[in-house]
Homo-oligomer: A and B are copies of this chain.
Amino acid sequence: MATSKDIARIAGVSQATVSRVLQNMDNVDESTRQRVLDALRETGYVPNLQARAMRMRRSGLIGVVTGRLTNPFYPELLDALAEEITSAGLRMALWTTDEPASSTVAVQAIQGSAIDGLIFTTATSKDPALRQAVAQQLPIVLVNRSIARLQCDQVTSDNVAGGRLVAEYFLAHGRTSVAVVGGDDIISTSRERRRGFTKAFAQQGIEIPAHRQRKCDFTHDAARKVGLELLGSDDRPAAVFCVNDLVAFGVQDAAHQLGIAVPDTLWIAGYDDIPMAAWDRIDMTSVRQPIDELAKLAVDTLVRRIKKHDMPFSHRRFSAELMVRGSTGWAPAHD
């Protein structure tokens, strides 16, 4: 591989001048610039990014820490992040970790300046590496999940409001006997969605009994089992809110297996509006987050944070939107 020194020799200039051309500086004579450009083209020169990164103290790499990609919401978010990162002229390093995310290696990568900053999509308040990184004021942005009082930039959507949207829709249609499924209180998104939902009911004087509030893993399988329990008894709810779509699909399958008609006798709503939710046979009502906006703001914020360390931390919440579909009674007019 040709180095800038080689280019210098070929063009008959010093390495410094080559560097100046590469950096598009204007204090270079037009004729020499051309000679250098010719040499660059001729050799197919590609700058050594390591050396450049070392000298500039900036690698152009953005790290992303995310959960396993088995929940299709994360690939969607990841795709959007990748798009933003690429169009900002940067590259992306990825860590997928099991929950609860322990992101030690990723944090070491910032400390070792292998990456310029880090985006967490699945942060938990228990993650020690995250805490340490924040304490050291490293450039970090939380997206999707939030952690109150953590001194770093956070970009989320309003999950409390999202949960409330579903509750209000249920209430407006007289479905007052409800259940809520899924979630782990350590995970901010599910905690908030659940809270928004239950609180809206509480405000109407309806307390959701404990056996109607079921935790479960964020998988189709776990949700199906919980669904069978929840819907198997005679005392079954008239509507179920699931804190994410995979869980909703599992409950939907449980209902199907039990011969419970959706939406006639049971309504189901999910969260995230992953692409499958819109498929005909699933047709799941779900709360949609503005993924592209989330990703865009997260990357923008991180890039600015990297440039300017001393900046007040921002905590931006986007609002979510209810996509009403067949699982809650809406009948499409098929074309």
Contact = CB atoms under 8 A, between A and B. Distances in A.
Interface of A: 1, 46-51, 53-54, 59, 61, 68-70, 72, 74-76, 78-79, 82-83, 86, 91-96, 105, 108-109, 111-114, 220, 224, 249, 252-253, 256-257, 275-276, 279-282, 334
A113 B53 CA distance: 11
B75 A114 contact: no
Contacts of A92: 93-95
Contact of A69 (B49, B70, B78, B113): B78
Given A279-B249, A280-B257, A69 B79 contact: yes
9 contacts: A46-B112, A49-B113, A51-B54, A75-B75, A78-B96, A93-B94, A253-B280, A276-B276, A281-B282
Contacts of A112: 46-50
Output the residue of A76, A96, A105 with the most chain B CB within 10 A: A96
Output the residue of A105, A111, A279, A281 with the most chain B CB within 10 A: A279
A126 to B, nearest CB: 21
Nearest to A96: B82
Contacts of A256: 280-281
A262 B249 CA distance: 20
Contacts of A69: 69, 75-76, 78-79
A275 B86 contact: no
A229 to B, nearest CB: 14
Given A69-B75, A70-B75, 20 more contacts: A47-B112, A48-B54, A49-B112, A49-B113, A50-B113, A50-B114, A61-B93, A61-B114, A69-B69, A69-B79, A70-B275, A72-B72, A82-B94, A86-B95, A86-B105, A93-B93, A220-B275, A249-B279, A253-B281, A281-B281
B111 A82 contact: no
Nearest to A67: B79
Nearest to A75: B69
Contacts of A95: 82, 86, 91-92
